[in-house]
Amino acid sequence: MTTPDLALDLDLDLVCLSHLRWNFVFQRPQHLLTRFAAGRRVFYVEEPVIREGDPRLAIASHAGVTVVTPELPSGLAGSHARDATLRHLLDDFLARHKVGRFIAWYYTPMALAFTAHLAPDLVVYDCMDELSAFAQAPPTMRAFEAALLLRADVVFTGGRSLYEAKRAYHGNVHAMPSSVDVPHFAQARDAAVDPGDQQSIGRPRLGYAGVIDERMDLPLLEAVADARPEWQFIMLGPVVKIDPATLPRRPNIHYLGPKRYEELPQYIAFWNVALMPFARNESTRFISPTKTPEYLAAGKPVVSTSIRDVVRPYGQRGLVRIADDAAPFVRACTEAMAENPVARMAAADTFLKTTSWDRTWSRMCRLMATAYRRRQSLLRASQAATVLGASRAATRHVSA
């Protein structure tokens, strides 16, 4: 992993405001911010958790990133009191850690409720998902996002579809599809030991690794499992925002729970097909699954539903098979298991040479540096105009 220079003359810290727990799933924020943390201080502020006692901040360090978790009592009533408390806690934290000049990096627009008073040197909105379309999204999400877009100096999007949705609302939006650590997932091609909780499961194995939530097409999974009872379906990942009782239960569907990022190649290594059985609804309209290039780097054939950012470029390039209904999905999986893996892996490797998290981060750094210089130039111009206006006013006063 390299650490590209931000090309800034000033030593800027980074304060990230996120809706995601740092230790939940290792994904886009972790890939990007650990790269920044190799050269500068990074403070990752999570959403609050409920704890009894006085409001406080729990502090931990992970991969060079300082993770800040507000702990608020259950009796703290009303959004106004909650936001005022968070503002006070954050202000005190930034003062104690002597955070003066910094980049404000937002994953959730809702954080503006307690950070709008801050004066960062650069504002970045890394829009990795359309959060307003997710289950249980706050009704004020769109309004806060509109406010954040007015403040942001540069906006990154987690995929092409999100870029197309946001580019009309800001003049400096850039598509930054989630990338892949190819060497990490390529370990799956040479793995020799099947993980213990997977060893007893028969073959062929068709697997999914990721969050299991409202974005999953559970009826499709159930129908495919029923159509091919001899196939074994491995489901890795946490179940969130849906009732676990609604998950399809079949003898050939195996829920193995969350796995650490470091463990994923070992599990994927012993699958025959990697799956992305996403539902087609508002919550998946703009997603750009990180697991697409991860599966390819692991050397596996991939079958997905017609998620827009999977169809293009992966489906169009023949790197991923696309099917939405049970019968076509079964056919696609059957074809995937019968194909020539040498030709497929060669095509995937050619594509993967064009992407990496290091490349994505390098490009982000260049765009942030340009946005910072633009902001400083506008600030100097504004200050000069103020001085000139004051000078002319003084001259008129003396002349009078």
Please check the confidence at residue 388 and state whether its pLDDT lies above 70. Answer: no
Q: Concatenated DSSP letters for 219-275?
A: HHHHHHHHH-TTSEEEEES-B-SS-GGGS---TTEEEEE---GGGHHHHHTT-SEEE
Angle formed at CA 367 by CA 286 and CA 38, multiple of 5 degrees: 95
Are 267 and 304 in contact by the 8 Å Cβ rule? The answer is no
Q: What is the pLDDT of residue 8?
A: 44
Place 10 in a pLDDT band, splitting at 50, 70 and 90.
low
Please check the confidence at residue 70 and state whether its pLDDT lies above 50. Answer: yes
Tokens coding 153: 């100096």
Question: What residue ranges define each of the domains in the chain, with the CATH number in brackets?
Answer: 13-179+358-384 (3.40.50.2000), 182-352 (3.40.50.2000)
Please check the confidence at residue 143 and state whether its pLDDT lies above 60. Answer: yes
Q: What is the pLDDT of residue 338?
A: 96
Are 19 and 141 in contact by the 8 Å Cβ rule? The answer is no
Higher pLDDT: 10 or 77? It is 77
Tokens coding 390: 């004051």
Interval 86-97 mean pLDDT = 98
Q: What is the pLDDT of residue 297?
A: 98
Mean pLDDT rounded to a whole number for the chain: 93
Q: In the chain, where do the E strands start and end?
A: 13-17, 42-45, 49-50, 56-62, 65-72, 102-106, 122-127, 154-157, 173-175, 205-209, 232-236, 253-257, 273-276, 302-304, 321-322
Find the Cα–Cα–Cα–Cα dihedral 292, 298, 301, 307, rounded to 10°: -10
Interval 235-254 mean pLDDT = 97
Please check the confidence at residue 137 and state whether its pLDDT lies above 90. Answer: no
| Cross-strand partners of 321 | 303
Q: What is the pLDDT of residue 373?
A: 93
Tokens coding 328: 């076509």
Are 240 and 257 in contact by the 8 Å Cβ rule? The answer is no
The tokens 């017609």 sit on which residue?
306
| Cross-strand partners of 155 | 125, 173
Q: 205-209 and 273-276 as β-strands: parallel, antiparallel, unpaired?
A: parallel
Q: What is the pLDDT of residue 178?
A: 85
Tokens coding 343: 């030709």
Higher pLDDT: 332 or 392? It is 332
Q: What is the pLDDT of residue 390?
A: 63
Interval 283-303 mean pLDDT = 96
Place 11 in a pLDDT band, splitting at 50, 70 and 90.
confident
Closest alpha carbon to 172 in 232, 125, 138, 241: 125
pLDDT in tens, 169-200: 999 999 999 899 999 999 999 999 999 999 99
Place 9 in a pLDDT band, splitting at 50, 70 and 90.
very low
Please check the confidence at residue 333 and state whether its pLDDT lies above 70. Answer: yes
Place 400 in a pLDDT band, splitting at 50, 70 and 90.
low
Q: Using a pLDDT cut of 90, give the percent of the chain over it.
A: 86
Place 378 in a pLDDT band, splitting at 50, 70 and 90.
confident
Which alpha helices (DSSP H) does 47-194 contain, by range? 79-96, 112-115, 141-151, 160-166, 182-186
Using CA atoms, how far apart are residues 369 and 116, in angstroms rounded to an integer? 22
Are 273 and 206 in contact by the 8 Å Cβ rule? The answer is yes
Using CA atoms, how far apart are residues 323 and 204, in angstroms rounded to an integer? 19
Q: Which of 197-201, 332-336, 393-397 has the lowest mean pLDDT?
A: 393-397
Please check the confidence at residue 381 and state whether its pLDDT lies above 70. Answer: yes
pLDDT in tens, 49-62: 999 899 999 999 99
Q: Which residues of 238-268 are buried (b: 16+ CB within 10 A; e: fewer)?
A: ebeeeeeeebbeeebbbebeebeeeebbbbb
Angle formed at CA 76 by CA 107 and CA 98, multiple of 5 degrees: 50
Interval 93-107 mean pLDDT = 97
- At 106, give phi and psi (nearest 5°): -105, 135
Q: Which residues of 146-165 are buried (b: 16+ CB within 10 A; e: fewer)?
A: eebbeebbbbbbbbbbbbeb
Closest alpha carbon to 29 in 67, 69, 83, 71: 67
Angle formed at CA 267 by CA 266 and CA 272, multiple of 5 degrees: 115
- At 33, give phi and psi (nearest 5°): -75, -25
